[in-house]
Chain A
Amino acid sequence: MRDVARDPAALELLRVQRSRLADRMRPRWWYLTGVAIMYALVFAVPFTSQFLGVSIWPIFAAASAVACLLQWGMTRATGIKMGFRNLRYPAAGRPTRIAVVVVSLAAIATEHFLIDRGLPAAAIVVAALAVAAEVALLQAALRGIRQELRAGGAA
């Protein structure tokens, strides 16, 4: 076994290996599709409550089930379990998480506003844009995690 005591190139090798590990965290097509379906369920809440009289909770239960399934699938596919560390992790993805909450609240409020004023078509457009924005934000968050894995930020 090669000795590394006088070989700082070992750190360079470790950087390459961490980069390889980070590359496994790239989301698959089914993951992004599943996330889009999950957010579509969430942003359908103003419509279902207004037109179908369905309460919020069954929709949120379905969205949570999809989220859990996606997380399980992603862990199985990548072989990396991230777990919940704290709200500051990953540092690079922190603004992204705030943006996710802001987009969700703003989209639901706007949809309610438009439906109340008899503009359901505009509300559908808002919901579709919000789903696209959430998927883009998720990709940004995963980019942040990959960046942290490459840098060994949590080490």
Chain B
Amino acid sequence: MTARPDPLIHPITRLSICGLLAAGADWVEFAALRDAAGISDSVLSKQSRVLEDAGYVEVRKGAVGRRPRTWFRLTAEGRQAVQGHLAWLAQLEEAVSASTWDAQQARPLPGDRDQPRRVLPPLLGSS
């Protein structure tokens, strides 16, 4: 799998939708996806249509009694794109956390400022 950014999955709402569909479920229902992603009905409808048009998401519409039900799942192409994008994000996360750690190492600790003063006088006095 190649870690590379995908401009279509790049916006956070689409990343949420694709990331949730790639979590392991076969099909996820509209309400479950909306609640898990924490987005509104209209946003989910709009973004899922964009993903469907791109061939990343498959949509199945049905009904239980009078209530319409919409189910989503990732296509093979969508799954590949999500995996690549998530791997790229994971690499980015690693790089950011490594650089933060380096910055923390380089910055002197509060006690470090006094350290030379405490060590140097006895040495100077002894010479």
Query: B25, A82: Cβ atoms under 8 Å?
Result: yes
From 8 to 23 in chain A, residues with beta carbon under 8 angstroms from any chain B beta carbon are 8, 10-11, 13-14, 17-18, 20-22
* A117 close to B (CB within 8 Å): no
- Is chain B's binding surface mostly helix, strand, loop or mixed? helix
Which partner residue on chain B sits nearest A15 by CB separation? B19
Query: B16, A82: Cβ atoms under 8 Å?
Result: no
Kindly supply a per-residue 1/0 record for chain B positions 14-31, scoring 1 wherever the CB is within 8 Å of any chain A CB and 0 otherwise. Answer: 011001101111111111
Counting contact residues on chain A (CB < 8 A from B), the size range is 35 or more
Kindly list chain A residues whose C-beta atoms are within 8 Å of the C-beta of B22: 152, 154-155
In the assembled complex, the CB of A71 is this many whole angstroms from the nearest CB of chain B, namely 12
- Contact A4 to B15, CB < 8 A, known contacts A17-B37, A155-B83: yes
Most buried by A among B36, B38, B64, B93: B36
Kindly supply a per-residue 1/0 record for chain B positions 62-73, scoring 1 wherever the CB is within 8 Å of any chain A CB and 0 otherwise. Answer: 001000000100
List residues of chain B with CB under 8 Å of any chain A CB. 5, 10-13, 15-16, 19-20, 22-33, 35-38, 64, 71, 79, 82-83, 86, 89-90, 92-93, 96-97
List residues of chain A with CB under 8 Å of any chain B CB. 1-8, 10-11, 13-14, 17-18, 20-22, 24, 76, 78-83, 85, 89-90, 145, 148-150, 152-155
